[in-house]
Structure 1
Amino acid sequence: MYQAEEDEHRPTLFIMSTPTLQAVLFAVLASLFVSARCENQSWKGVALFVLGDSINDAGTNNYINTTAGFRANFPPYGETFFRIPTGRFSDGRLIVDFIAEYANLPLIPPYLQMKDDEFMGGANFASGGAGALVGTSEGYVVDLKTQLKQLEQLEKKLRKEMGSEKAKRIIKDGVYLISIGTNDYGMPLSYPALFQSISMEDYVGMVIGNITTVLKGIYEVGGRKFAMIGVGQFGCAPSGRASTRNGSCSVEANNVAKLHNVALTSVLTKLEIQLQGFEYSYFDYYTSGSKRFQYPSKYGFKEGQIACCGSGPYRGNFTCGGQRGVKEYSLCHHPDKYVFFDSGHSSERANRQYAQLMWNGNLSVVGPRNVKAFFKHEGA
């Protein structure tokens, strides 16, 4: 059950039975996708391929055998835009949904939802809870290397359906949007004993090493344009604040995020030199998020530290929806006034702002080029 904020009068959520909810969910999603469905033989645009974690997951975890802790297919997720939960970890759309909109693409469907004979401008392989390391949430998510394997499978299907030349062009011209890393650091930070045997720098090196392997793997498949989202300031997320004694940001979490981002940008720079045709766009999620956490009113928000949905201090417990072991949770009346929807995920409004920065921001937030530049060279 949920509890509305005391000064708000929120209508009661109507919770449908699971079979009914799933039926409605699939019907609505089908209507969203079908209007923009592209027959394989007629597709001519720049495709968008999405990999990563819950920042990018558009419903992948609905289709795998996992637990509610790795899903967002129940209310109040999805309430703002879709009106029903879709598996996205937000009240509405994600960054990738807005990027697709700006690129004149339909919503990019989860790869596991797609039928063999349909291609709708891309595929989303991202899985909530996933990491670059196979051991991160192993058995409950689709890890990054497995996502690469799924991309390889899709490339083979496209060659079979469209022919080698057309499939090659789609893969080459496509944009690969990736968000990964945060989940790799969550567990180690919860168990400091791990770093008695390995330094934080070496651990970050392992994570970056796996990301590098996947980037090279995508390049070998034919991909050339990479839009990378850095690790955010997750020590200042509601979950991070709830983990400290005085509600301050988790310094350890923020330090590892900074180490990760420095190492990632270094690798991207080297790959652009080493691999012919490799291009990247790096979004400084850390700084962009930090500004909104610290000065929410400057960006149109009321609250930058407390989540809209959850329980405990800062609503930093991951209990939104009451399906993760704890039934009681609080829910705000206006998610668009909050930077965070739940303990670690952005509201739709924040996602829109981040997407706008990625799409056409300047070098202070995204570089060496913004994502819009990738969609200007169709067929090149």
Structure 2
Amino acid sequence: MEKVTRRRTISFSFSFSSFFIFFFFLISSNLLFLAGKAAAKFSHEGDNSNNVTALFIFGDSFLDAGNNNYINTSTLDQANFPPYGQTFFGLPTGRFSDGRLISDFIAEYANLPLIPPFLEPGHSQKKLYGVNFASAGAGALVETFQGSVISLRTQLDHYKKVEKLWRRKFGKEESKKRISRAVYLIGIGSNDYLSPFLTNQSLSIPMSQHVDIVIGNLTAFLHEIYKIGGRKFGFLNVPDLGCFPALRVLQPNKESCLRDASRLAEMHNKALSSLLFKIQRQVKGFKFSLFDMNKSLRLRMHHPSKFGFKEGEEACCGTGKWRGVFSCGGKRIVKEYKLCKNPNDYIFWDSLHLTQNTYKQFANLIWNGGHMSDSLVVGPYNINKLFQIP
């Protein structure tokens, strides 16, 4: 979720060359230490072909682990510069947060390695436990920020390449089993509804029709994954977009949410829930979990202290009212930005994205919740149960 417009001595007496070698060694050692520290948290305990699972991730900036680092796009759609990543990784990774995302926590809870971006060079062995295809700015519609992001349609094409790789690696039958055991985590749609507001345009069709087209594209995507062999799906619905800092600063009365954006999110979420229950009734073996990200976010914004936060509306990183100008890192159109002291106190990291602390709370709900115990997770399963299904 991206666009706001379319577009801070030690003295040694040795030679310069010695200093360079020392400096290079010091930096390299620190980077290796940081990378090893992060990777150690996500080690996978063996590969038992009888119960091995994988995680495939599709979506936008809420789930993008760095695919946009490798495409020709603007910094509006990238987060590969400080202070992004500072809380956990110690360096930017391309994630639109101060640290980890929902998908990173889900992988950890499932005892999987850190799921790599599809476009990240190398790491072919790690990709045998899943792949992250998400792209910041992407939508279910190909037209959403077209040319700057990896659309859901293209993400599906990338997935098909991985499926072919698995067939070559494991053989047809074993690959088919692994595909069916895998969990597919999907968070898409926000940019389809944000883009008209962030580009100062208006919808050319009624809201309901726009939502129908988005849901139609998502339906086609799900049927394609099912046809290939996917059976277990986890979904994030669209958050209350109108109450994001970046949307609130677009209207004269910055004290309230942008009503039309919130309305679109609400319409989408009703349609998404109906779609999933319909597919479940009609398609054999289709299993799903739907997380109400919208309601969960609103609860935290309205009652931040109840969930351990000190600030529920202002972003940690940015400038202007609510720090709603998308300037975090000083690499975008507006260079000025302020950074809070402790991101854990904030729900919003920048004007369009959430902090690691928020994402972790969401991941815990997705993993453990259920429609009988927690109204924020809808469906016969939570993600934990999906991973347990053979």
Contact 2:145–2:195, Cα closer than 8 Å, also in 1: no
Distance in structure 2 (CA, Å) of the matches to 1:156 and 1:211: 22
Residue of structure 1 in register with 2:93 after alignment: 86
Residue of structure 2 in register with 1:264 after alignment: 272
Question: Whose radius of gyration is greater, 1 or 2?
Answer: 2
Q: Which amino acid aligns with 2:261?
A: A
Q: Which amino acid aligns with 1:372?
A: N
Residue of structure 2 in register with 1:301 after alignment: 309
Among 145, 164, 168, the alignment partner of 1:160 is 168
Among 214, 225, 229, the alignment partner of 1:218 is 225
Please identify, of 174-183 and 240-249, the stretch whose mean Cα deviation from structure 2 is larger: 240-249
Q: Which amino acid aligns with 1:45?
A: V
Among 204, 227, 249, the alignment partner of 1:242 is 249
Among 146, 149, 154, the alignment partner of 1:141 is 149
Query: Per-residue deviation at 1:306?
Result: 0.2
| Matched residue SS, 1:340 | strand
Contact 2:44–2:111, Cα closer than 8 Å, also in 1: no
Aligned residues: 359
Higher relative contact order (CA 8 A, sep 6+): 1
Distance in structure 2 (CA, Å) of the matches to 1:345 and 1:254: 16
Contact 1:70–1:141, Cα closer than 8 Å, also in 2: yes
Alignment map for 1:1-380 (pairs within 5 Å): 28-29=34-35, 32-33=38-39, 36=43, 44-113=51-120, 115=122, 117-118=124-125, 119-190=127-198, 194-195=202-203, 197-247=204-254, 248-363=256-371, 364-368=375-379, 369-377=381-389, 380=390
Change (3 A) 1:42 1:375: closer
Which string of whole-angstrom CA distances, capped at 9 and with x for unpartnered residues, describes residues 177-202 of structure 1?
0000010111223578643x411000
Change (3 A) 1:74 1:291: same
Please identify, of 342-351 and 183-192, the stretch whose mean Cα deviation from structure 2 is larger: 183-192
Which string of whole-angstrom CA distances, capped at 9 and with x for unpartnered residues, describes residues 292-325 of structure 1?
1111111100001000000111001110000012
Distance in structure 1 (CA, Å) of the matches to 2:43 and 2:330: 34
Query: Per-residue deviation at 1:263?
Result: 0.6
Seq. identity, % = 48
Contact 1:133–1:184, Cα closer than 8 Å, also in 2: yes
Contact 2:45–2:111, Cα closer than 8 Å, also in 1: no
Distance in structure 2 (CA, Å) of the matches to 1:33 and 1:209: 38
Which string of whole-angstrom CA distances, capped at 9 and with x for unpartnered residues, describes residues 39-60 of structure 1?
9896952111000000000011
Which string of whole-angstrom CA distances, capped at 9 and with x for unpartnered residues, describes residues 255-310 of structure 1?
00000000111111111111111111110011000001111111100001000000
Residue of structure 2 in register with 1:15 after alignment: none
Contact 1:116–1:157, Cα closer than 8 Å, also in 2: no
Consecutive unaligned residues of structure 2, counting only runs of 5 or more, are 1-7, 9-25
Which string of whole-angstrom CA distances, capped at 9 and with x for unpartnered residues, describes residues 345-374 of structure 1?
110000000011111113101121211111
| Matched residue SS, 1:305 | strand
Query: Per-residue deviation at 1:166?
Result: 1.4
Contact 2:139–2:152, Cα closer than 8 Å, also in 1: yes
| Matched residue SS, 2:350 | coil
Query: Per-residue deviation at 1:246?
Result: 2.3
